[in-house]
Structure 1
Amino acid sequence: MNVISSLLFILFAVSVAIQLAYAFYFFLPALPSGDNEINDVPVVISEKEKVSVVICGKNEAHHLRNYLPLILAQRYSNASGKRMFEVIVVNDASTDDSAAVLAGFAQNNEHLKIVTILPEEPRKFPGKKFAIGKGVAAAANEWLLFTDADCQPVSKYWIEEMTVLFRTSGGKKQIAGGYGKYAQEPGLLNALIRWETMHSFLQAFSYAYRGMPYMAVGRNMAVEKKLFREAEEWDVWNKLPSGDDDLLVAKTATTDNMRLIMPKGSFTISEPKHYWQDWIRQKQRHLSTGKYYKPSVKRLLGIYALTHSWSWLFFIPLLFTHFYAAAICFMIARCLLYWTVWTAAAKQLGEKKLSIFFPLFDFGWMIYNFAFAPYIFWKNKQQWK
């Protein structure tokens, strides 16, 4: 029994040590110092930075009514006041009144372009990728900004914030990833959705900060068109109906050409799932692209998830051994560091009232990884809508 206890403690201590090292190397250096606030003054842009906002929707009439006006009313113009963006909405074989809603908006918005996909139209790519490709093909500009029909920008300068890296002298980027929040609502599921979204973004942000970009969210991502075309030629592209965001990053992102950003004016807000089964299906789809990350990234993410699980799995039985005092001290140090990091991230990302859930979600993330492991490592979720 003493041998087993000693082995458990060694594995536990190593796991906690790796968790601490991960936090100090990735999370802490990447956290903003407070200078990433919303930019309330639009930057004068040149003709070459015109932007095409691409939105794909299938039976999204309700969301288009509510959120499309916020996209169309963005403040993004040149020195003379000329509008410098267009909005392309791809109506993907909708059976609701999306077509009528879009036609109504088009009457008073000359910068709105509508692309309609008929139900019988042959598809080159599965699911959402076909719709996105149609939207990109219709784009008149070289700079693309993607979002979803159920998303709203938090600022009238959202386009400005999301594309500022495309015109930064000395360090111009080709891919920019922003934070895609979920609306805050009562209930445990909503808190979990917001925590998991914050946690995933913090991981991706810290990796990009260290020169290892691996993901972005398609509901808030800007990219140069030629990189999208490059990703579209990848043989993996037609294996999944969604995952265009992660696959594009996996194929085209480098240490130098991509950055994730945190200015509050760059956020979008989406409607969260309200039922556990709907959220589970959504996560199965999102996690299906993880197997296509670069091997080095997959190893690091795997080590992080594994040591997180081991920390909790070994901590509990160690409480019933003579190592209990040392185990408690190790776990307190680990939890204090991570909960402090998450508190700082939640404040920066505007995720209110999450701190009280940190102990529950910290432990629950172990269960999350076990439950979704088949989709992370093997399965593809072959469905968009």
Structure 2
Amino acid sequence: MEMILFILLYSFIAIVVIQFIYYIGIFGRFTFAKNQTITPKKVPVSVIVCAKNEAENVKKFFPLLANQNYSDYEIVLIDDASSDETLDIFEEYEKQYSNVKLVKVENNEAFWANKKFALTLGIKASSKDYLVFTDADCYPNSKDWLQQITAQFTMKKTIVLGYGAYDKIKNSFLNKIIRFETLLTAVQYFSWAKIGKPYMGVGRNLAYKKSVFFDNRGFMDHMRVRSGDDDLFVNQASNKGNTTVIYTPESFTYSTPRTTYKDWFNQKRRHVTTAKLYKPFDKFQLGLYFLTQFLFFVLAIILLAFQFQWMIVTGIILFRYLFTWISLGYGAGKLKEKDVMYWYPIIELVLIFTHINIFFTNIFSKPVHWK
């Protein structure tokens, strides 16, 4: 028995070493990076917004898109066969604003309820060389949103990954869970992009040159996969040379998060289904990260339950929380999410059990997508 416990202890140490590499060596590339400085550029931009039954959100958020401090941009509004007043509102905006272009999408039997089909039509209808994407339920954090994003484009950097945050809801622990998970995801994809291994982006705040879309055959390689218009495309099209990040506060977008655990759980189920289609290395590093998260707690509990070398185990646990808290804390500071770090240990446990639940739930049933 003692031999088994020694093996578990050495495994525990190895897992913490791997996590140290992740949090300090990899995530630190973003979390410890200097704040960005922006040099504005004049880049012609098409802002792409796809909406399906988003009348109330469109009324609230469109004025923030229409009043950007930017000279050369158009707004392509895509109505994906909405059954509410979305199309009527879009038609009014098209009449009111000279830089608004409306794309009406009718239900197509071959691409029924497929957001990628609607986005493709919008991209083809756009007239500018650079595309900036956000969702109909999102709003930019400032009037300089477009200015901040386009400043990152160069001759080589043709994909820009931004941060899509969620609004804070007072006295809501679920809100803290959602924002922490969003923070952790951003720290991961920003860090890997800085290393030169970009693997995903979020459609709430994403930009790329139109030629990148057509050079990669758009969404054709994964058109039948209902989700992934953002992360699967970035996973396919991005590389060390063409991808960069923007994380100034003025470049953030915000949206209203889910308010029930069930709705958020179903949202995460949809997101997880695309990860299995990532490149092999990306699936490996994400899988290894989650495995070490899970095994850290399992082995810590076993070793402490047997009180085996408990002083060493306790010291390792404290060291692990020290470096993870420091790394994520710096990242939270950059992304204006510091308040969630007070709940970090509890939220981390909730997320681990949630991901395990999602894994088994998706085995037995398929999540519902864009409809």
TM range (shorter): over 0.9
Trace 1:121-160 onto structure 2 (pairs within 5 A). Answer: 121-124=108-111, 127-160=114-147
Q: What amino acid does structure 2 have at the position aligned with 1:43? A: P
Trace 1:1-385 onto structure 2 (pairs within 5 A). Answer: 1-36=1-36, 43-45=40-42, 49-77=43-71, 84-119=72-107, 121-124=108-111, 127-166=114-153, 168=154, 172-186=156-170, 187-232=172-217, 236-319=221-304, 320-374=306-360, 381=367, 383-385=369-371
Cα 1:194–1:316 change in 2 (3 A) is same
* Cα separation, 2, equivalents of 1:28 and 1:376: 32
Q: What amino acid does structure 1 have at the position aligned with 2:319? A: A
Cα 1:44–1:256 change in 2 (3 A) is closer
Q: Which runs of 5+ in 2 are unaligned?
A: none
* Residue pair 1:162, 1:266 contacting (<8 A) in 2 also: yes
- Give 1:33 deviation, angstroms: 4.0
- Give 1:116 deviation, angstroms: 1.2
For the residue of structure 2 that corresponds to 1:314, the secondary structure is helix
> TM-score, length-normalised on structure 2?
0.94
Deviation track 1:242-269 (CA, whole Å, cap 9, x = no partner) reads 2111111121111110012211111000
* Residue pair 2:31, 2:328 contacting (<8 A) in 1 also: no
Cα 1:275–1:262 change in 2 (3 A) is same
- Give 1:293 deviation, angstroms: 1.4
* Residue pair 1:64, 1:150 contacting (<8 A) in 2 also: yes
Q: 106-115 or 369-378: which moved more?
A: 369-378
Q: What amino acid does structure 2 have at the position aligned with 1:307? A: T
* Residue pair 2:45, 2:73 contacting (<8 A) in 1 also: yes
Cα 1:380–1:145 change in 2 (3 A) is farther
* Residue pair 1:54, 1:145 contacting (<8 A) in 2 also: yes
For the residue of structure 1 that corresponds to 2:257, the secondary structure is coil
Cα 1:352–1:184 change in 2 (3 A) is farther
Cα 1:56–1:281 change in 2 (3 A) is same
* Residue pair 1:126, 1:238 contacting (<8 A) in 2 also: no
* Structure 1 segments of 4+ aligned residues over 3 angstroms from their partners: 121-126, 230-236, 374-382
Cα 1:231–1:247 change in 2 (3 A) is farther
Deviation track 1:151-205 (CA, whole Å, cap 9, x = no partner) reads 0000101111111122x4xx63110010000000031111000000000000111
Cα 1:92–1:213 change in 2 (3 A) is same
* Cα separation, 2, equivalents of 1:54 and 1:333: 45
* Cα separation, 1, equivalents of 2:219 and 2:99: 32
* Cα separation, 1, equivalents of 2:76 and 2:30: 34
Q: What amino acid does structure 1 have at the position aligned with 2:40? A: V
* Residue pair 2:134, 2:204 contacting (<8 A) in 1 also: yes
Identical counterparts, % of pairs: 33
Deviation track 1:40-84 (CA, whole Å, cap 9, x = no partner) reads xx8352xxx21000000001010000001100111112xxxxxx0
State the Cα RMSD in Å: 2.1
Cα 1:54–1:379 change in 2 (3 A) is farther
* Cα separation, 1, equivalents of 2:217 and 2:272: 20
* Cα separation, 2, equivalents of 1:348 and 1:65: 30
Number of equivalences: 369
For the residue of structure 2 that corresponds to 1:20, the secondary structure is helix
> TM-score, length-normalised on structure 1?
0.90
Q: 281-290 or 23-32: which moved more?
A: 23-32
- 1:81 — aligned with what? none
Q: 360-369 or 237-246: which moved more?
A: 360-369
Q: What amino acid does structure 2 have at the position aligned with 1:259? A: T
For the residue of structure 1 that corresponds to 2:157, the secondary structure is coil
Cα 1:328–1:376 change in 2 (3 A) is farther
* Cα separation, 1, equivalents of 2:359 and 2:22: 21
